[in-house]
């Protein structure tokens, strides 16, 4: 099939095109795929799809449903890793188009799975196919944004990746509103909700794909003078993805992303339970009404965390343009370790306000870690292959998506099995997370400029077709 419109050559910006039109195109993709963070709003309706008002025999368990998200994150990492080079080759428009088809196709298949009550269809649809859409969609605008904003790569990639955090803020209330609209005495409304969201997101993502443009060869922002020599970690050279994965810098950044995400996911996943168990006087469960009010307040807390997770992405990534990537990560790991270690103290002191503030700042740095890493990669490996290298690095996210919850749940269960009170069972977890961040701090300290043997020559950059 002839599909010229999607080709890289047909998405080159003409004269007078404003580069500020590119971040909204990227946001069209990331705000949609960020819905993955809000998947848990389907847990309750899907766990009582047969019983409607309460789980009935044959209904899916919450742990079984939890695998949908885990599979999606694993396939996000795999598709980003293996599809990164393809995304660089075909350009952002075709990649965004493919991401829209995969992600929304996953939602449609998931909807069929709910309708037919076949869990494997949800695993295949939302998990595998949707997960591929997540991975391709996540990396598709990164390289393009870095090329449009050579003067502010942190701001540019932070804006797009902020959208992934913001996707949950839209996806959760949208799903709730649609399920309320579609629910009947014999249906939770989850199946048509997934299908409707698939249709809405498909429109949005396709608009993003059609809006995106790549800069013409030799384009640079008005008044921007490209550096002629590498300064510190910021290189003027370029490295192929196949060479990048043979450098210690790649593995140090992989470890940093893994450790930051492991710590963040670990506490994010248990935030609701943690605040209720550490502050039982503020979150009583002595009556049905009190339990419902406590759960609603805890859900509000989790929503607030999502907001700061999103805000941290744009704040820290754009700040990194001024203070440098290495300094930004040093703050994440050092300040993060201190804050994690302070959380149990805030709980023991019964200081709810301090507990919330600590958690909110931690979440800004969790989001900031995601959003700043593409600019860090661009500094170290150059801008030509940054999308593909970023894709490979995202396997750290997949690994952390499994390691974080397992680590936290294992430690907590171990504590409870050994007679530790519920409110105290989180202390060790937080100290372990703080220790992980100290390891991350050391990794960051070890980052040095990439050895010149890995640099591409100018001729090789042009042959690669992305000069």
Partner 1 sequence: MNNAVKLTLSWMLVGIPLLWGVYVTLLNALKLFR
* Residues of the shown chain interacting with partner 1 in the complex, contacts defined by CB under 8 A: 16-18, 20-21, 24-25, 27-28, 31, 163, 166, 168-170, 172-173, 204, 207, 211, 293, 296-301, 303-304, 306-307, 356
Residue 153 burial class via C-beta count within 10 angstroms: exposed 0-12, middle 13-18, buried 19 and up: buried
Angstrom distances, CA of residue 87 to CA of 159, 160, 466:
20, 16, 12
For partner 1, which is the closer residue by CB, 21 or 446? 21
- List CB contacts of 442: < 8 A, sequence separation 6 or more: none
What are the residues whose beta carbons fall under 8 Å from the beta carbon of 9, sequence distance 6 or more? none
Given the complex with partner 1, which of 92 and 324 has the nearer CB atom?
92
Q: How many helices (H) and strands (E) does the chain have?
A: 19, 0
Closest to partner 1 by CB, 170 or 267: 170
Q: How far is the CB of 304 from partner 1 (least distance, A)?
A: 4
12 three-class SS: strand
CB of 264 to partner 1, least distance (A): 18
- 3-state secondary structure at position 446: coil
Contact 11, 213 (CB under 8 A): yes
Q: Which is nearer to partner 1, 23 or 127 (CB)?
A: 23
Report the largest interatomic distance among the alpha carbons of the chain, rounded to a whole angstrom.
73
Q: Which is nearer to partner 1, 97 or 204 (CB)?
A: 204
The half-sphere exposure of 98 on its side-chain side, counting CA atoms within 13 A, is 24
As given in the structure block, the two tokens for residue 176 are 């709730």
**81 vs 305, which CB is nearer to partner 1?**
305
Provide, rounded to whole angstroms, the least separation between the CB of residue 22 and partner 1: 9
Report the nearest approach of partner 1 to the CB of residue 61 (Å): 26
Tell the smallest beta-carbon distance from residue 271 to partner 1 (Å): 12
Kindly list the distances between the CA atom of residue 278 and the CA atoms of 128, 273, 298, 426, in Å, as whole numbers in the listed order. Answer: 37, 9, 12, 9
If one counts every other C-beta atom within 10 angstroms of the C-beta of residue 331, the result is 18
Distance of alpha carbon 396 from alpha carbon 253, whole angstroms: 9
The distance of closest approach from Cβ of residue 142 to partner 1 in the complex, given in angstroms and rounded to an integer, is 17
User: Which lies closer to partner 1 via its Cβ, residue 259 or residue 317?
Assistant: 317
User: What's the closest the beta carbon of residue 171 comes to partner 1, in angstroms?
Assistant: 8
């Amino acid at each position: 099939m002839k599909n010229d419109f999607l080709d890289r050559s047909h998405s080159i910006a003409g004269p007078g095109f404003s580069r500020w039109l590119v971040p909204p195109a990227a946001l069209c993709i990331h705000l949609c795929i960020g819905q993955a963070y809000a998947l848990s709003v389907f847990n309750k309706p899907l766990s009582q799809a047969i019983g409607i008002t309460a789980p009935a025999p044959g209904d899916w368990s919450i742990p079984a449903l939890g695998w949908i998200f885990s599979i999606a994150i694993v396939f996000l990492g795999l598709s980003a890793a293996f599809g990164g080079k393809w995304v660089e080759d075909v350009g952002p428009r075709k990649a965004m188009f493919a991401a829209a088809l995969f992600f929304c196709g996953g939602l449609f298949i998931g909807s069929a799975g709910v309708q037919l009550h076949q869990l494997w269809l949800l695993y295949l649809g939302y998990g595998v196919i949707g997960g591929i859409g997540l991975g391709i969609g996540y990396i598709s605008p990164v390289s393009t944004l870095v090329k449009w904003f050579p003067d502010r790569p942190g701001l540019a990639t932070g804006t797009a990746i902020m959208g992934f955090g913001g996707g949950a803020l839209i996806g959760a209330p949208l799903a709730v509103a649609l399920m309320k609209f579609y629910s009947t005495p014999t249906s939770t409304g989850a199946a048509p909700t997934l299908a409707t969201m698939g249709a809405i997101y498909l429109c949005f993502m396709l608009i993003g794909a059609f809006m995106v443009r790549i800069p013409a060869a030799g384009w640079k922002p008005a008044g921007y003078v490209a550096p002629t020599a590498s300064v510190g970690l910021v290189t003027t050279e370029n490295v192929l993805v196949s060479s990048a994965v043979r450098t210690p810098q790649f593995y140090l950044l992989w470890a940093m992303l893994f450790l930051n995400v492991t710590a963040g996911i670990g506490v994010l996943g248990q935030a609701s339970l943690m605040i209720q168990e550490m502050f039982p006087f503020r979150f009583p469960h002595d009556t049905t009404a009190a339990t419902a009010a406590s759960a609603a307040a805890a859900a509000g807390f989790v929503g607030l965390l999502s907001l700061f997770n999103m805000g941290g992405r744009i704040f820290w990534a754009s700040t990194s343009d001024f203070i440098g990537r290495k300094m930004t990560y040093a703050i994440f790991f050092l300040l993060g370790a201190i804050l994690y270690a302070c959380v149990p103290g805030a709980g023991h002191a019964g200081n709810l306000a301090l507990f919330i503030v600590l958690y909110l700042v931690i979440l800004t740095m969790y989001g900031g870690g995601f959003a700043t890493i593409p600019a860090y990669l661009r500094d170290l490996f150059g801008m030509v292959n940054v999308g593909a290298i970023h894709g490979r690095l995202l396997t750290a996210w997949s690994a952390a998506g499994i390691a974080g919850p397992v680590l936290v749940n294992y430690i907590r269960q171990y504590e409870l099995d050994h007679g530790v009170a519920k409110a105290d069972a989180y202390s060790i977890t937080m100290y372990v997370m703080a220790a992980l961040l100290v390891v991350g701090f050391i990794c960051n300290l070890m980052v040095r400029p990439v050895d010149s043997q890995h640099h591409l020559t100018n001729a090789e950059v042009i042959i690669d077709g992305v000069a």
